[in-house]
């Protein structure tokens, strides 16, 4: 029975493979967000948290967002995806097969996520792995990517 559910779910998602499945709304990366991330994670290097020093001592002229802040935004940005969830009990991040920070995100920039379905495969007896090509684009830089990743999402199917 589980094998049939898994096969049916893979067939449900198959038409979306190779297609864009969502683009998130824009998110402003302000100093308050950067500082909150620094407090939460301990990533409080001056390049992120000291605007005066960053203005003088970096080629950016301002602070930049932490790379892990960008990665953490993917979760909320992925709410914009439009894959069917029929028969899904829950889903969770399974990790990354590939992730690159392509360029820094300057304080004050707006970014958004863009997602494409790469592939879907069975995972164990109860679920599937969904492979997403995920990117975070910077608005004022001709939509240049700040982050590019292959992100895996585990979907546990209902019994």
End-to-end, the C-alpha distance of the chain in Å comes to: 9
Q: CA-CA distances (angstroms) from residue 81 to 19, 132, 148?
A: 11, 10, 16
The burial of 86, by beta-carbon neighbours within 10 Å (0-12 exposed, 13-18 middle, 19 or more buried), is given as exposed
pLDDT value for 1: 54
Q: Determine how β-strand 145-157 pairs with β-strand 127-138.
A: antiparallel
Domains of the chain by range and CATH?
A: 2-28+64-157 (3.10.129.10)
Compute φ and ψ for 41, nearest 5 degrees.
Answer: -105, -15
Would residue 42 be called left, alpha or beta, if left means φ above 0 and alpha means ψ between -120 and 50 degrees? left
Predicted confidence pLDDT, tens digits, the chain (159 residues): 589 999 999 999 999 999 999 999 999 999 999 999 999 999 999 999 999 999 999 999 999 999 999 999 999 999 999 999 999 999 999 999 999 999 999 999 999 999 999 999 999 999 999 999 999 999 987 888 999 999 999 999 998
Residues 6+ apart with CB under 8 A from 43: 37, 66, 68, 69
User: Helix 31-41 crosses helix 67-77 at what angle (to 10 degrees)?
Assistant: 100
Find out whether 116 and 17 touch, Cβ atoms under 8 Å: no
């Amino acid at each position: 029975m589980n094998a049939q559910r898994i096969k049916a779910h893979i067939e449900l998602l198959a038409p979306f493979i190779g297609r864009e499945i969502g683009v998130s709304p824009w998110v402003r990366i302000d100093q308050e967000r950067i500082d909150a991330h620094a407090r939460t994670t301990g990533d409080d290097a001056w390049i992120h948290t000291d605007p005066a020093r960053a203005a003088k001592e970096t080629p950016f002229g301002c602070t930049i967002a932490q790379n892990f802040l960008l990665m953490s935004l993917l979760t909320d940005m992925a709410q914009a995806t439009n894959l069917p969830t029929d028969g899904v009990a829950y889903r969770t991040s399974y990790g990354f097969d590939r992730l690159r920070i392509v360029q820094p995100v300057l304080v004050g920039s707006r970014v958004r996520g863009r997602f494409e379905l790469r592939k879907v495969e069975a995972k164990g007896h109860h679920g599937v792995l969904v492979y997403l090509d995920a990117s975070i684009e910077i608005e004022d830089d001709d939509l240049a990517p700040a982050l590019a990743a292959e992100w895996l999402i585990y979907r546990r199917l209902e019994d």
